[in-house]
Amino acid sequence: MLAELPLVDHPDLLVGRGYSDDAGVIRVTEDLALIQTVDFFTPIVDDPRTFGRIAAANSLSDVYAMGGKPLTAMNIVCFPRRSLPLTVLRDVLLGGLDVMRQADTLLVGGHSIEDPELKYGLSLTGTVHPDRVVTNAGARIGDRLILTKPLGTGVLATAIKGGMAPPEVEAEAVRWMTTLNRDAAEVMQEIGVNACTDITGFGLLGHALEMANASGVRLELRASRIPLIPRVRDLASVGMIPAGSFANRKFCERAVTVEDGVDPLLVDLLADAQTSGGLLIAVNQDRAETLHEALERRNVPHPEIGRVVAGAGTSRIRVLP
């Protein structure tokens, strides 16, 4: 739908809406560019403080995905004053603050409105050197693809809603959703990578497709190498895949070729809509080993899930067993 709006162009606009990237980036001076992004959503867990933490980590992720450093934040709140006590709002905001503190990001204000349903998130400003912006458009043939968090939060959120997720599974999902992509972003800048995007609502397939389109390349994904949060596969096989993930799969269908031998359940999981997912990084194959080592040192998962290959036409993603 956004495609119908006219695009804005400016010589200092380094990343704008035309790129389906994670955030907008504008050059302010020769050595400073600002990253701007906003994200907010409805609760996916019952505990207000945990929800606040997840929403903040998810919003921050867009800055990290551009290789940036978050600077300031504003709260965005929709709150049903009539149906929920204000202590809930306080706890959500405290959760957000916990994570902002962890990210060395300053809360400078915010805006709230009354709404039938609770929603929370952040509007963020971050910084990056104009020459070191990591977009989703730089993937080159031969690059290795690395994913820094396991998939499955969409399935787990659905299972939590349905009362099918044991507490330890919920705790594991929360752990991943509140893990900042900060270390991964810093390592990316340290080593130098070609492209990056964070995995959120469109799932790995959707965001990989955006990267393939923006970079004018084709991505090959090895389904068996793609990490899943424990129990996700079991929960998916008893029908805990959310509607959004099916919609993602449908949306990507024409551009994705699935080879024989790939479990259809796994393809659904590759399309699983993620909340606060990891970074998908395309790195030059000569630097891949250095990146692996640096991520390992910071305890960031770094499975190599595929590579960038040549190819034109409608099929932009190839999923191998």
Partner 1 sequence: MAERKTVDCRGLACPQPVIHTKDALQGATFPIVVIVDNEGSCTNVSRFAESQGARVSVAQRDDEFHLTIEPDRGIPAAETSLAAGADPDANSMVVYVSSEGMGFGDEDLGATLMAAFLDTLSHFKGELSHAIFVNAAAKLVVKGSPVLEQVQQLEQLGVQVLVCGTCLDHFGISEKLAVGSVSNMYAIIETLSKAGRIIRP
Please, what is the minimum distance in Å from the beta carbon of residue 263 to partner 1? 5
Residue of 24, 43, 150, 203 that binds partner 1 (CB under 8 A): 150
Burial of 175 (0-12, 13-18, 19+ CB in 10 A): exposed
Site for partner 1 in 67-106 (CB under 8 A): none
Please, what is the minimum distance in Å from the beta carbon of residue 274 to partner 1? 15
DSSP string across 138-191: ---TT-EEEESS-B-HHHHHHHHHTT-S-HHHHHHHHHHHTS-SHHHHHHHHHH
User: Residue 40 or 246: which CB sits closer to partner 1?
Assistant: 246
Site for partner 1 in 158-217 (CB under 8 A): 158-159, 161-164
Site for partner 1 in 268-297 (CB under 8 A): 268
Work out whether 130 is an interface residue with partner 1 (CB under 8 A): no
Please, what is the minimum distance in Å from the beta carbon of residue 287 to partner 1? 18
| Integer CA distances (angstroms), 35 to 7, 165, 228, 291, in order | 18, 37, 30, 24
Name 194's Cβ contacts closer than 8 Å, sequence gap at least 6. 138, 139, 140, 143, 282, 283, 284
Cβ 216 vs Cβ 135: under 8 Å: no
Site for partner 1 in 227-266 (CB under 8 A): 227-231, 233, 236-243, 245-247, 250, 260-263, 265
Cβ 258 vs Cβ 267: under 8 Å: yes
Count of residues that interact with partner 1, criterion CB under 8 A: 37
Question: What is the binding site for partner 1 (CB under 8 A)?
Answer: 150, 158-159, 161-164, 223-225, 227-231, 233, 236-243, 245-247, 250, 260-263, 265, 268, 301, 303, 321
